[in-house]
Chain A
C-alpha cells in the first residue's frame, strides 16, 4: 500500500500548501487595501451605529 499511497499523500500536501501560499500571498499584497477600507468604512459604520 505504501507505493500507491505516497503519490496521493504528495498531492494532498501540494494542494494544502498551495492553498496556504495563495492565502498568505493575498494577505501580503492586500494589506494596504484593507488598511484603507478599515479607515474609510470604520468611521462610517461607527456613525451608522450611533
Chain B
C-alpha cells in the first residue's frame, strides 16, 4: 500500500510541477524558442522551484497534513491551468519520429529502463549518511513539531543549508510518506538525463546520440546510488543542466523570456546546495561569453542583468530566512564576518596546488578512483574513454562553448576547494555525459568502416559490462525491500557495507520513548530514524544554539548530572563502532567509537562501561537513562 501511495504521489508531483512550470514557460517563451521536450523539461524545473517556494512560505506557519493538502490543492489547480493547450500532438509526433529511428529508440528504451529501475529503488528505506544526518532528519523534525524552524538541537551547521530539496521532502513526508521521498529525488535524475539529451540535440546531433548521453549519465554508479537516496547532488545536476539548456536555447541574440527562465532556474541551482554558487558562476561566465558574442548593448544588458536578477529573486527568501535565523544571510559561509563571536564553518583544507595533479586528476579519478578519491563513484571509465572522440566532430557545435565554460569553471573550483570528493562533480555530469556521448558517436561513425572497428567494439563491450554490474548490484540490493519483499530491519541489518543506519536502535527509542521525555543520542550521525525533537545530542535544550559561537564552554560532570536530575533522559543511545572503508580496496576496517569527542558523552563513557544495554546491534546500543544517571552519580561520589 505504501508503495502504491509513493508511486501515485511521485507521479502527481511530476504532473503538478510540469503544469506549474508551464505557466512560466508559456509566459516567457513567446518567441517559441523551446521545442516540446525542452518545454516539458524546463517546466519541470520551474515547477519544482515553485513548489519549493510555496512550501517555504507556508511551512514556517504550519507544516501539517491539512496545510500541505490545502497548499497542494491550490498548486494542482494552477497546474491544470498550466497544462491547458499543451501541444500533445507535437509530443506524439516527436515520439513517432523517435520510434522510426531504431538505434535511438533502443538506446532510449535502455536509458529509460535504467532510470525507472533506479527510480523504483527509491522506495527502499533511506540509508545514506547525509540523508540520515540532515537531508531527511531536519524535515522529519519539522514534521514532528508541525512547523518549519531551525533544528538547533542537531548541533550541525548543515541544518541551515539551502532548503529547496528539503522543502520538497517536507511536503512529501507529510503527504506521500517516506517511500516517496527518495523517488521525488530520483525524478530529478531523469530530468538531468533528459536535459543532457536535449543539450546534445541543441549541439546539432541526433536522437541516438542524445539517448546515449542520457544513458551515460543514468548509468554512472554515483547517480544510481544518489537517485534512490535523499541526497541533493543529482537534483543540483539536473537544475544546473536545465539552466544551461535554457541559456543555450536563448542563443546569441539573447531571447529575453528564455533568459528569465534561465535565471529562475539558476535561482533553483542556488537554492539546492551551497555548491550552486560556483555552478551559477560557471553559468554566468557562459552568459558573458554569449553577451560578448552578441550584437548590441541591449542584448548585453539582457545577459548580464536579466538572468541574474531572476536568480536572486528566487534565492532571496532563503537569504532572508538565514538572516532572520542566524544573523548571517550567507550562513554557514563567512560567519565570523556577520556574527562577531560566531564560529567559522566550512573552512577548507589548506590549498596544495600542484599543476601535475591538476592535469592528471581527471584521469586518475576514472582509472584509479580508490587510490586518491572518495571511492568508485563513477564506476567504469567510459566517459573518459570516449571524450577524445570530440576531436572527430569536425564542425561547429552551437551552444557548446557555454557548456564547456561551465564544466571548466566548476572543475577549477572543485579542484581548488573540494578535491578529492568526486561526488561533487556529479553536478556537471549530464554535460560531461553529453560531450562523451558525442565523442563516442563520432568515434563509432568514423571507426566502424576501418580496421579499428573490432578493438573499439571490444572496449565498448567491456565498458558496458563493467557499468551494467554497478547498475545491477544496486537493483539486487534495493529492489527486494523497495517492493516489500524484505523487511526494513533485515535490509538494514544484513546488506553489506551499509552499517545499519542505526535502524534497530532508533526503532527501539521510537517505540519506547514516553511522550514528553527526552533522550541522549551519541550516534554518528544522529539518525533520521530516531525521534528528532526529543533528542539531546551535544547540547542541552537551554544551550541549544551554543554551537554557533566560536568558544563553546565544556561541561563538567557535575553540570551534566545536575541537568540529568532536572530532566532525566529516558535513554542514552551510543554508537559503539563504525566501518572505515577509506582505503584502496574499500575493505572495511572496524573502528571503535571514542566517546571522548562528545561534550556530554565524554562524561558518560565510564558509566556506560559497566551497564548492560537494553538493546544493541553491531554498531550501536541503547541504555536505560535512569541507570546511566545512577552510574554517573556513583562516579561523581
Identify the A interface with B (CB < 8 A): 8-9, 11-16, 18-20, 22-23, 25-26, 29-30, 32-33, 35-37, 40-41, 44-45, 47-48
Contacts and interface: CB of A to CB of B under 8 A. Distances in A.
Contacts of B596: none
A9 to B, nearest CB: 7
A26 B447 contact: no
Interface in B349-375: 363, 366-371
Given A14-B391, A30-B376, A45-B476, 10 more contacts: A12-B452, A16-B452, A18-B385, A18-B388, A19-B386, A22-B366, A22-B385, A23-B385, A29-B371, A32-B584
Contacts of A11: 391-392
A40 B497 CA distance: 8
Given A20-B455, A20-B459, A44 B368 contact: no
Contacts of A35: 585
Contact of A26 (B367, B584, B586, B587): B367
Nearest to B384: A22
20 contacts: A8-B446, A11-B391, A11-B392, A12-B450, A16-B455, A19-B386, A19-B388, A19-B459, A22-B363, A22-B385, A26-B380, A29-B371, A30-B369, A30-B370, A30-B376, A36-B587, A40-B496, A40-B588, A44-B494, A48-B480
Contacts of B447: 12, 15-16
8 tightest A-B CB contacts, nearest first: A29-B368, A32-B585, A19-B385, A25-B367, A36-B585, A16-B452, A22-B385, A19-B459
Contacts of B367: 22, 25-26, 29
B634 interface: no
B586 A23 contact: no
A33 B588 CA distance: 12
Contacts, number: 92
B473 interface: yes
Given A12-B443, A12-B446, A23 B389 contact: no
Nearest to B470: A37
A25 B459 CA distance: 12
Contact of B392 (A12, A26, A45): A12
B455 to A, nearest CB: 5
Interface in B473-504: 473, 476, 480, 494-497
A32 B605 CA distance: 38
A13 B452 contact: yes
Interface residues of B, number: 42
B288 interface: no
B476 to A, nearest CB: 6
B561 interface: no
A45 B472 CA distance: 12
Contacts of B468: none
Contact of A15 (B371, B443, B458): B443
A26 B388 contact: no
B463 interface: yes
B401 interface: no
Contacts of A9: 450
A16 B476 contact: no
Contacts of A12: 392, 443, 446-447, 450, 452
Which residue, A11, A25, A29, A30, has most C-beta atoms of chain B within 10 A? A30
B456 interface: yes
A33 B370 contact: yes
Contact of B496 (A16, A23, A25, A44): A44
B313 interface: no
